[in-house]
A and B are shown apart, each in its own frame.
Chain A
Amino acid sequence: MGKAELPLHAPGTKLDRGYIGQSVPRPNAQRLLQGRGSYVDDLRFPRLAHVVFYRSPHAHAKIKRLDFSKGLKSEGVIAILDGRAVAEYCTPWVGVLAHLKGIKSPPQHAIAIERACWQGEAVAAVVAETRAQAEDALGLIEAEWEELPAVIDMQESLEGKKIIHKEFADNICFSRQHDTGGVDEAFAAADVVVEETFEFGRHTGVCLEGRAILADYNAAEHSLTVYHSTQAPHMMQDIFSRHLGIPEASVRVIARDVGGSFGIKVHVYPDEMATAALSVMLRRPVKFVADRLESFATDIHAREHKVKIKMAVSRTGEILAFDLDDLSAIGPYSVYPRTSGIEGNQVVNLTGGPYKHRKYRAKLNVVFTNKNVTCQYRAVGHPIAVALTEGIVDKAAAKLGMDPAEFRRKNLIPDDAYPYTFPSGIKFERLSHHQTLNKLLDLMSYKKLREEQEVLRKQNIFRGIGLAAMIEVTNPSPAFYGVGGARISAQDGATLRLEPTGMVTVMCSVTEQGQGTEGIFAQIAASAVGVSMDKVRVITGDTGVTPYGGGTWASRGAGIGGEAVLLAGRALRSNMLEIASKILNLEKETLDIGNNAIIGKLTQEKKMPLEELGRVAYFRPDTLPMDFQAELTVTRHYTPRQYGFTFTNGIQASLVEVDPDTGFVKLLKHWCVEDSGTVINPMLVDEQLRGGVVQGIGAALFEECLYSPEGQLLNGSMADYLVPMSGEMPDIICAHVETPTLQSQLGAKGVGEAGTAGAPGAVMNAINDALAPLNARVTAMPFTPERILRALAKA
């Protein structure tokens, strides 16, 4: 069934799609803005203990001695424990998946035992009555270390002269080769071959609310309740259960308000596992809140790739083949349970994605280093794949003297070519590259901008225009993680309940991280049932309450969770009409629901308010036929299955001005045309795009986790690590093409990562376009003034 099914109200009424497609303000915004949010650190518990961690000051070192004696005497201290003590309560884990063939990683403990493998890895836990007291005791711990050779540079790691984990023969966590065949022949036959090496700095997703966890073990029941700032409560329930030895049904994970996550909060963190273990051990609630300095040193980092890419092109501008070699470093462990092999894997899957060439070869090496771990962060792999592809495409267009927009038009997969299998093996249901390109060029007045650019160049004003077409993984099926053996759910569920007063309660397994998921669920539920938004309450983030599901990641919340809500809403509507027909003694087919009432389908006249239906169903079922049972709670589940991923597409453009004296880049404007299928709430979709673009701009211009050659993080604070700030951000203009996925009735694809995927490539191309008349070019992100000046031979 397709989009034709969308009319959620009686045909012919104005409310055809209900609230779908309307910029309804999210109901929870008021509560958050009035300071009534309830984040982990807002919770108050009797007997709450606070834990802080003693972290390795070295990148790689043997723990020779830890002396807690002074710390244990410090005021308010409850316990100080090392890795061995915590391991009694928490088993180690290994971050590998079966479908990433050959991936390896050593067992990782909640608290390191014997050896620390990055600066910041926890080697002891201090529990005290207050956080300040715990920090006081932290300063009294004495440690003796024997420094081990550290591997910091990824090339050095690949060469393998120094091995990080003795149980392995090399430092390679994962490698992959992909070859369609015929690549060498394509290059030999090509008129033009372009080649470039691109570098992507390591950066991180700075959440407004840092990681936070409060674990409350109940010895009487051998049960554990965890209040957790997480994206995936059910995944964490499973993990706490298995690693702490508590039956799954006795573990409850509650994610109340979450202050941003961006992929940071979907992984297993040793210090969080230790916090849960300590609660079991000490039989009292224990809280850990990562402060900003800890966040920089221990929240997952991402990217850090160095990629050589080659492209074969014909004289007339047809792309014939891509050849790729990606080297990426992930720190000392592959992160559990998603692994750190996915980002590189995505680069292989997605490079060249929008284009119609048929030959493709790729090589990937993912290596261990003695830096903080990296893992999936917003747009996993996409910013790299897009920048590589779009950077080399621009280079080819320049070499051929073709306009970059025309070059793309020539090579983008035609809008009528679907379904389509891309040379990397991924499948596209239906994309709209040409529509989005045309819309973008229109939106930005591309021709006029090019003319203006010419005029300004003569006045020594160097403006650049950069385009970046892209594809994006959304709504993943079990092919993403489940098939590899991970207990990560690709399905989600929604329960809808009609309350006696005619209110609708929605309980959904997809979580709210501040992006407005609960708002769109309310829109969908209200539309599907036939009530107004104010009659809907949404509950998410509680494994004790909602159906089982995957949570929030990989741009899946709207497309998967939203579909479950829609299906449940329709089923509830049908059940309600059934009851109404019994009460009113009318045929079900003649009835409908609208404006919070049972109405006549044809006449639209009001027959009965929903609270009357609720009253009868709940309190006077004796008045209903003897063999009839009202069902006013329904649950539906949804898993996308026809395609591995529901791909979206889009294109972005950036307009910048480069100051060749200072190397400064001024962002003048940014455009984004995105096809995310059915747009449920245009305002939220646009804000997702804008926020994503800003994070992508961060990668392009500002953000990088800098390490010294010894493996010391040099800029782990808000003063030194530069997050993008509003003052420097351009206006971001968004527009949409809507190609609904036909896999679901809602038709929504994902949009959460699109902005981040495309922006770095667009900004890079804009900078290089601005620098072109000066014969300079930059290929290493972030593009700092220093790097641009160096390209201009001024530094």
Chain B
Amino acid sequence: MKAPAFAYVKPASLPEAFELLQHPNAKILAGGQSLIPSLNMRLSSPELLVDITGLPGLSEIKVLNGFVRIGTLVTHTRIEQSPEIKKHIPLLAQAVPHIAHAAIRNRGTIGGSLALADPAAEYPACAVALEAVFILKNKTTERRVKAEQFFKGLFETDLKPGEILTAAEFPVAGKSDRSVFLELTRRQGDYAIIGLAVHNSNFVYFGAGSMPVVAKNASSKKTLKEAKAALAKDLNPPADLYHSSATKLHLAGVLLERAWNMLTT
């Protein structure tokens, strides 16, 4: 388990980073908590790693007018400890302790997690539920993409070669907004068997498909019974090593019921 040889550069500015990313086989390195294991297991072999952790201006949590902007390099631990996030994005605050373990949270970044787009990860589902907007930059332009449009498939996003995800913007939760975060893991810190991030009427599952799955049918129903019955139309969760698809669907129903009961009490 030794990574194949690669070149490593840690640019000091965004333009420099964009320049380096022109290299055809370059890869962005953020917290390294997903990328480095995949290199060590020789699952990928980039020629150049562009370490973005030295770039200025990407590590802030800023409360702006009606939204919070989280820089791509903000670590899971900082999100966990931020009073602003606790106050303004309670769903994210609830989700973050479920991500891995303290040592990994100290290094892993929100941008890395969103860019990786693991279907069982917490942030992508929260971002979709919260209708977050992502800021993507390349050498010349900046564009804004809605979370729901950003996730395209299994480990697949709207990010184009040479682009860096620089920040995510989350709307500030209002007084009447309600959110619930639930996930099932056999061991604390594991990726979810299945999980549910709810913000108002957005019910978003993770670990339930190739990307965050919005339970549109279920969430449009008036009663829990109807909602549970409609769930099979929304989800067809893939089996994992330990759970069949049917079991995951059953567990999705259990989470739906728990979230529903929490929201209505």
Chain A positions within 8 Å of B, measured between CB atoms, are 130-132, 135-136, 139, 291-293, 661-664, 701-702, 706, 714-715, 717, 719-720, 722, 724-725, 727-728, 784-786, 789, 794-795
Q: Is the CB of B41 within 8 A of A293?
A: yes
CB-contact partner of A131 in B2, B5, B254, under 8 A = B2
Q: Is the CB of B186 within 8 A of A795?
A: no
Which parts of B32-50 form the interface with A (CB within 8 Å)? 41-42
Given A786-B244, A786-B247, A795-B250, are A727 and B189 neighbors across the interface (CB < 8 Å)? yes
A725: B residues at CB distance < 8 A? 187-189
CB-contact partner of A291 in B1, B5, B186, under 8 A = B1
Answer yes or no: B251 CB below 8 A from chain A CBs.
Answer: yes
Bound form: Cα–Cα A198–B232 in Å: 34
Bound form: Cα–Cα A451–B109 in Å: 49
B87: A residues at CB distance < 8 A? none
Answer yes or no: B4 CB below 8 A from chain A CBs.
Answer: yes
B187: A residues at CB distance < 8 A? 702, 722, 724-725, 727-728
B64: A residues at CB distance < 8 A? none
Which parts of B178-205 form the interface with A (CB within 8 Å)? 184, 186-191, 193
Q: Is the CB of B3 within 8 A of A785?
A: no
A130: B residues at CB distance < 8 A? 2
Q: Is the CB of B42 within 8 A of A139?
A: yes
CB distance from B113 to the nearest CB of A (A): 16
CB distance from A312 to the nearest CB of B (A): 37
Q: Is the CB of A789 within 8 A of B247?
A: yes
Which parts of B227-251 form the interface with A (CB within 8 Å)? 241-244, 246-247, 250-251
Q: Which residue of B lies closest to A724 (CB)?
A: B187
Chain B positions within 8 Å of A, measured between CB atoms, are 1-5, 41-42, 184, 186-191, 193, 241-244, 246-247, 250-251, 254
Q: Is the CB of A135 within 8 A of B188?
A: no
Q: Is the CB of A786 within 8 A of B189?
A: no
Q: Is the CB of B2 within 8 A of A785?
A: no
B3: A residues at CB distance < 8 A? 132
B242: A residues at CB distance < 8 A? 784-786
A661: B residues at CB distance < 8 A? 254
Q: Is the CB of A722 within 8 A of B186?
A: yes
B244: A residues at CB distance < 8 A? 786, 795
Q: Which residue of B lies closest to A135 (CB)?
A: B2
Q: Is the CB of B2 within 8 A of A132?
A: yes
Given A722-B186, A727-B189, A728-B187, are A786 and B243 neighbors across the interface (CB < 8 Å)? yes
Besides the known contacts A701-B186, A722-B186, A795-B250, 15 further A-B residue pairs in the complex with CB atoms under 8 A apart:
A132-B3, A135-B1, A135-B4, A135-B42, A136-B4, A293-B41, A662-B254, A706-B241, A725-B188, A728-B188, A785-B193, A786-B247, A794-B250, A795-B246, A795-B247
Q: Which residue of B lies closest to A136 (CB)?
A: B4
Bound form: Cα–Cα A11–B42 in Å: 66
Bound form: Cα–Cα A662–B42 in Å: 36
Q: Which residue of A lies closest to B257 (CB)?
A: A661
CB-contact partner of A785 in B1, B190, B247, under 8 A = B247
A794: B residues at CB distance < 8 A? 250
Given A662-B254, A785-B186, are A293 and B1 neighbors across the interface (CB < 8 Å)? yes
B254: A residues at CB distance < 8 A? 661-662
Bound form: Cα–Cα A773–B2 in Å: 52
Q: Is the CB of A662 within 8 A of B2?
A: no
CB-contact partner of A662 in B41, B190, B191, B251, under 8 A = B251
Bound form: Cα–Cα A717–B254 in Å: 29
CB distance from A297 to the nearest CB of B (A): 12
Chosen A-B contacts, 9 in total, with CB atoms closer than 8 Å, are A136-B4, A293-B41, A664-B186, A702-B187, A785-B184, A785-B251, A786-B243, A795-B244, A795-B250
CB distance from A105 to the nearest CB of B (A): 31
Bound form: Cα–Cα A132–B39 in Å: 12
